[in-house]
Chain A
Amino acid sequence: MYRSALSAITSKSRRPLRSPFFSPFRAETPIISSVSPSPGPESRLPIPSNRFSSFRDPPSRASFAPSICFPDLSPGLRRRVVSGTRGLCGGSGDRESLEYDVVIVGAGPAGLSAAIRLKQMCLERNADLSVCVLEKGPEVGAHIISGNVFEPRALDELIPQWRHEGAPIEVPVSSDKFWLLTENHSLQLPSPFDNKGNYVISLNQLVRWMAMKAEEVGVEIYPGFAASEILYDENHRVIGVATNDMGVAKDGSKRETFQRGVELKGRVTLLAEGCRGSLSEKMIRAHKLREKVQGQHQTYALGIKEVWEIEEGKHKPGSVLHTMGWPLDMKTYGGSFLYHMSNRQIAIGLVIALNYHNPYLNPYDEFQKFKHHPAIKPLLMGGTVLEYGARTLNEGGFQSIPYSVVPGGAIIGCSAGFLDVPKIKGTHTAMKSGMLAGEAAFRTLVEGATMETYWDNLKKSWIWEDLKRARNYRPAFKYGLIPGLAFSALERYVFRGRLPLTLKHGKPDHEATDIASLHAPIQYPKPDGQISFDVPTSLYRSNTNHEHDQPAHLHLRDSTVPELVNLPLYAGPESRYCPARVYEYTPDENHGLKLHINAQNCLHCKACDIKDPRQNIKWTVPEGGGGPGYTIM
C-alpha cells in the first residue's frame, strides 16, 4: 500500500506534545560561516552560540576517500570524520551521511535512559552533545511489549521526580500470588517474589512518556527508521549505523518510491535493540564478545501476551498472579502471569523457555489452552481482548552476559541481556545499563575517557550484584520442574546466591529440540472465540502491518533446509512456535509440502532466529515503520 513511513512522526505519546525543542539539523550543504539556530519556544538548554563552529565537511556523495579520524584536540571539539566511509559491511558510498555525537539504536527503556542521562550530564556540566535515537517501529512504543511489574529503582535514579511529572506509573502492587496449576486445580504456594514498592504498569505507556521526557531535554528521536547495518572504519572501529533502503520491491528492484538508506555517524554508537537484537547479535559474533569473558550462550523464552478489558467487579488493580505447572509439562520451563492494571485492563500471558524439547509444542496454543483453566477462565468471561503480542526475552542471566563494549560503541539493555530471571524483571536493569552507558559516553566524548568505563561501572553496579545473586535459579530447572522449584526455594531462603558454584546452562535452545519421532503430536483444543482465539484474530489485534511489496526480511541461509531437515526431522517446528503464523508448510504442485513465509505477519519477536534447529533462519530488519502497533502492552 501507499503507507508513508512518515506516519511515524505523529503522536508519539498520548499526552499532548509540547512543541519539540529545536534540534539543529545536520546540514547536507556546506556551511562556511558559523550558524546559530534560534531556539524553540520551550527550549530549556542553554545553547552555545558557536554550535556549528568553523566550517563543516562537504556532504558525502559517492566519495571514496578513506576516513581519517582526528584525535580530540581539546575537550568539546568535535572529532571530524572526513565523510566517505567505506562501510566494511558492504555499504556503498552514495548514501547521505548525518553526524551526531551519540547514535542510539532502539527507543526502548535502555536506549531512552542512555539518551536522557547523556543530556542530563550535558546540562550539569554545561556541555553540548547531539544525541539521535533511531526506532524501527512506526512510533515510539509500537514495538514495546512486556508483562510488566516495574521496579522503579533505576527510574528513581534517572528522574527522581517521576511521580510529579505525570509518569504513567500509578498502580502499586496490591497482592502477589503464586499458584501451581494442574489441569483442574490450583495450589497456592508462597510467592517467590517480593514486589513491595513495585508497580503494575504498561511498559509501552512508560516508554512513550520517557520519549516525551527525552525530547524535552533535546534528544532527537526518529521512529520509522530501521538501522540495518553497522558502519566501521578501516580500523574496525564502529562509527555509526546505516538505515535500510526503503521502497525496494519484493523482487529486489527499486520501486517508484525508492529512497536510499541514510548513514548516521556517531562518535559513540549504542545498540539498544532489545532481546536478540539483529545488529547486536552481529556485533557479538564479529567481536567474539562472549568468548572475551568466558560467557555462556544466551538462553531465551518466548512470551505471548494479551491485554483484556474485564468486567467491573472482577478487576482488582495491582493484583499480581504468577503460575507454573499446567499446561506445561515437567520438562518445560515456563509460567504464566496475570497483572491487573488500571481502567479494568489486565495483562495476561504465558512465557515458555525456548529450550523445550517437544517439536510439536505450540506456545500460542498452550497460552490459549491456559486461559481455559477453571481458576483463570471466570476472570476473563465477559471481557474483551484489546491487544495481542509476543516477544522473546532472555533468561541467560549472569552466565550469559557478553563483554558489552567494542571500539566506538557498546551494547545496552536486553541486547546484552540483564534480565533478572527469578524476579522476572528486566526493565530496571536495562534502564540502569542505559544510564551507565550514557555516563560512560559522556566521559568518553567530553573528558577523554573510553567506553570501557561502561563495562567497569556495570561490574560495580547493583545490576551485577543482583544478577550474580540470581544466577543459579534458572539453570537448576534443567533437572526438571520439581527439582528446580526445590532448588529455587533453597536459593531464596538459604543460599541467597552465596553458593560457591555457578550452575551452567544446558544446550543452546536450538539444539534442545528433539527429533519429532521421539514425541507425539499434541492435540490442542479448538479456539472458542470467547476465551481462546485463532492466530489470525489475535494477529489482527496486534495492529501488525508491513509494506507488502518489500523483500521478505526473514532469510534462509540455505533454502533447501526447511524441506530437507526441518520438516522430516522436526515436523516443521517453525510452523508451531511462531506466534504470528509466518511459517506455513503448504502443499505444492508435486504434492509435497513447501515452506511459505508470510513475512508481513511478523511480530518481530525473534523466536525463529533463536529456535530454528539448524539456525537457518536469520531475522533481519524490514523496512522501517512496519511491525506490530502496540499501544498498551
Chain B
Amino acid sequence: MKVMVAVKRVVDYAVKIRVKPDKSGVETSNVKMSMNPFCEIALEEALRIREAGAAAEVVAVSVGPAQCVDTLRTALAMGADRAVHVDAGAAPVLPLSVAKILKALVQVEQPGLLILGKQAIDDDCNQTGQMIAGLLRWPQGTFASKVVLDKEKQVATMEREVDGGIETLSLDLPAVITTDLRLNQPRYATLPNIMKAKSKVIKKVTPAELNVELKPDLEVVQVAEPPKRKAGVIVSSVDELIHKLKNEARIL
C-alpha cells in the first residue's frame, strides 16, 4: 500500500513575522522558510506506518513555487521514498485548489492513505484535508492524536482530539487523515540522509498536466497587525471600578 503525504512550505515557526508596509500580506522575502510543523508530523506518521510494515512506499507531495523542492528534499531526507512537486507558480495557492490538485494526484498515484497536517501555520485554514476527503468521497479523520493501521482489514483506527475529549474512529481505507500536535515527535534527518536526498529525483508536474484549473475564489484585500494592546489602568477604589465598568467599558 502506498501512503501519500502532502507537505507545505511555510514561514518557519520561530520567525517573527512582519506585515508588509502596503498591507498586502506578510513579508516573506529574506525570511526563513521550513516545512509546516504539522506536515512534519504527518510525514513522521507515514514513515512509522511504513516501518511497521503496513505500507510499502511513502510519497511526499508539495504544491507551490520552485523553492518547494527544498521542502521535498527535507521530506526525502527524513525517509520518504519519492517526492512530487506540483509547480503552481509564485502566487499562494488556496486550500480548495490544493485539494483539487491532490485529488488529481491521488487518482494517478492511487495511495491507500492520504495524510496531511491539520493546518498550515501561515494561513491556519484547517480546510485542505476536509475538502479533499469531500472531493474524493473518502472517509476523513482529522486532528489525529493516534493512528493504528490494520493491513488485513484495510481499516485505520484513530483517536482524534475534539473539544469534548478524545474520539475514536474507525475508517475504511482509502482515507484521509490530518495530524495534530500530539501524534508523534518527528525525527531528525541525519546528515548522510540529507546527502543522499540531494541526488534523488523529484518529479515535477504542473496543474495543467493534471487537468486542474486554478481559479482563485478568494482575494486577500488587506492584512493588518492586530491593534496594539493598550496599557492597563490601576483604579484606586471599588467605586471607581464600578464607574469605569459602567461608563467606559459599558458592560454593566
Shortest B157–chain A CB gap in Å is 22
C-beta contact mask, B1-41 vs A, less than 8 Å → 1, else 0?
A: 00000000100111110100000000001111111010011
Q: Total A-B residue pairs with C-beta atoms closer than 8 Å?
A: 127
| Residues of chain A lying within 8 A (CB to CB) of residue B122 | none
Most B CB within 10 A of own CB, among A1, A3, A255, A264 = A3
| Residues of chain B lying within 8 A (CB to CB) of residue A14 | 29-30
C-beta contact mask, B138-170 vs A, less than 8 Å → 1, else 0?
A: 000000000000000000000000000000000
- The answer to whether B185 touches A2 (Cβ under 8 A) is yes
- The answer to whether B188 touches A257 (Cβ under 8 A) is yes
A5 contacts partner chain B, Cβ-Cβ < 8 Å: yes
- The answer to whether A2 touches B77 (Cβ under 8 A) is no
If A2-B37, A255-B185, A629-B32 touch, does A543 touch B191 (CB 8 Å cutoff)? no
| Residues of chain B lying within 8 A (CB to CB) of residue A255 | 185
Shortest B229–chain A CB gap in Å is 11
A32 contacts partner chain B, Cβ-Cβ < 8 Å: no
A222 vs B190: C-alpha distance in the bound complex, in angstroms? 11
- The answer to whether B196 touches A543 (Cβ under 8 A) is no
- The answer to whether B74 touches A25 (Cβ under 8 A) is no
- The answer to whether A631 touches B9 (Cβ under 8 A) is no
| Residues of chain B lying within 8 A (CB to CB) of residue A3 | 13-14, 37
Residue of B nearest to A137 (CB): B32
If A7-B74, A543-B15, A631-B30 touch, does A222 touch B191 (CB 8 Å cutoff)? yes
A302 vs B29: C-alpha distance in the bound complex, in angstroms? 29
C-beta contact mask, B170-213 vs A, less than 8 Å → 1, else 0?
A: 00000000000100011111111011101100000000000000
Shortest B115–chain A CB gap in Å is 15
- The answer to whether A386 touches B191 (Cβ under 8 A) is no
- The answer to whether B194 touches A6 (Cβ under 8 A) is yes
A318 vs B110: C-alpha distance in the bound complex, in angstroms? 58
B83 contacts partner chain A, Cβ-Cβ < 8 Å: no
- The answer to whether B191 touches A4 (Cβ under 8 A) is no
| Residues of chain B lying within 8 A (CB to CB) of residue A6 | 35, 74, 77-78, 188-189, 194
Residue of A nearest to B77 (CB): A6
Shortest B21–chain A CB gap in Å is 8
B70 contacts partner chain A, Cβ-Cβ < 8 Å: yes
A631 vs B27: C-alpha distance in the bound complex, in angstroms? 12
Residue in B30, B34, B70 whose CB lies within 8 Å of A17: B70
A591 contacts partner chain B, Cβ-Cβ < 8 Å: no
- The answer to whether B70 touches A262 (Cβ under 8 A) is no
- The answer to whether A25 touches B195 (Cβ under 8 A) is yes
Most B CB within 10 A of own CB, among A9, A20, A220, A544 = A9
Residue in B9, B14, B34, B35 whose CB lies within 8 Å of A543: B14
Chain B binding surface, main DSSP class: mixed
Q: How many residues of B contact A (CB 8 A)?
A: 40
C-beta contact mask, A1-30 vs B, less than 8 Å → 1, else 0?
A: 111111101110010110110111110100
Residue in A28, A138, A246 whose CB lies within 8 Å of B32: A138
- The answer to whether A543 touches B32 (Cβ under 8 A) is yes
Shortest B234–chain A CB gap in Å is 17
B82 contacts partner chain A, Cβ-Cβ < 8 Å: no
- The answer to whether A17 touches B74 (Cβ under 8 A) is no
B71 contacts partner chain A, Cβ-Cβ < 8 Å: yes
If A7-B74, A631-B30 touch, does A220 touch B195 (CB 8 Å cutoff)? yes
B73 contacts partner chain A, Cβ-Cβ < 8 Å: yes
| Residues of chain A lying within 8 A (CB to CB) of residue B74 | 4, 6-7, 9-10
A563 contacts partner chain B, Cβ-Cβ < 8 Å: no
Shortest A600–chain B CB gap in Å is 11
If A4-B40, A256-B185 touch, does A37 touch B199 (CB 8 Å cutoff)? yes
- The answer to whether B69 touches A98 (Cβ under 8 A) is no
B67 contacts partner chain A, Cβ-Cβ < 8 Å: yes
Residue in A19, A37, A264, A386 whose CB lies within 8 Å of B69: A19
Residue in B30, B35, B70, B195 whose CB lies within 8 Å of A4: B35
A545 contacts partner chain B, Cβ-Cβ < 8 Å: yes
| Residues of chain A lying within 8 A (CB to CB) of residue B187 | 4, 257, 259
Q: Which of A98-156 contact B (CB under 8 A)?
A: 98, 138-139, 142
- The answer to whether B67 touches A10 (Cβ under 8 A) is yes
In the complex, 26 of the A-B residue pairs with CB atoms within 8 angstroms, ordered by the A residue number, are A1-B37, A2-B41, A4-B78, A6-B188, A7-B34, A9-B70, A9-B73, A9-B77, A10-B34, A10-B67, A10-B70, A11-B33, A16-B66, A17-B66, A19-B69, A24-B199, A25-B192, A25-B199, A96-B192, A98-B191, A138-B12, A225-B191, A259-B187, A629-B15, A631-B31, A631-B32
Residues in chain B within 8 A of chain A (CB atoms): 9, 12-16, 18, 29-35, 37, 40-41, 66-67, 69-71, 73-74, 77-78, 181, 185-192, 194-196, 198-199
| New A-B pairs, 12, CB < 8 Å, besides A257-B187, A543-B14 | A2-B41, A4-B78, A10-B70, A10-B74, A11-B70, A25-B196, A26-B192, A96-B192, A98-B191, A243-B191, A629-B12, A631-B31
Residues in chain A within 8 A of chain B (CB atoms): 1-7, 9-11, 14, 16-17, 19-20, 22-26, 28, 37, 96, 98, 138-139, 142, 205, 220, 222, 225, 243, 246-247, 255-257, 259, 262, 264, 386, 540-541, 543-545, 629, 631-632
**Across the A-B interface, the 9 shortest Cβ-Cβ residue pairs:** A7-B34, A545-B14, A6-B189, A25-B195, A10-B70, A11-B33, A6-B74, A631-B30, A262-B191
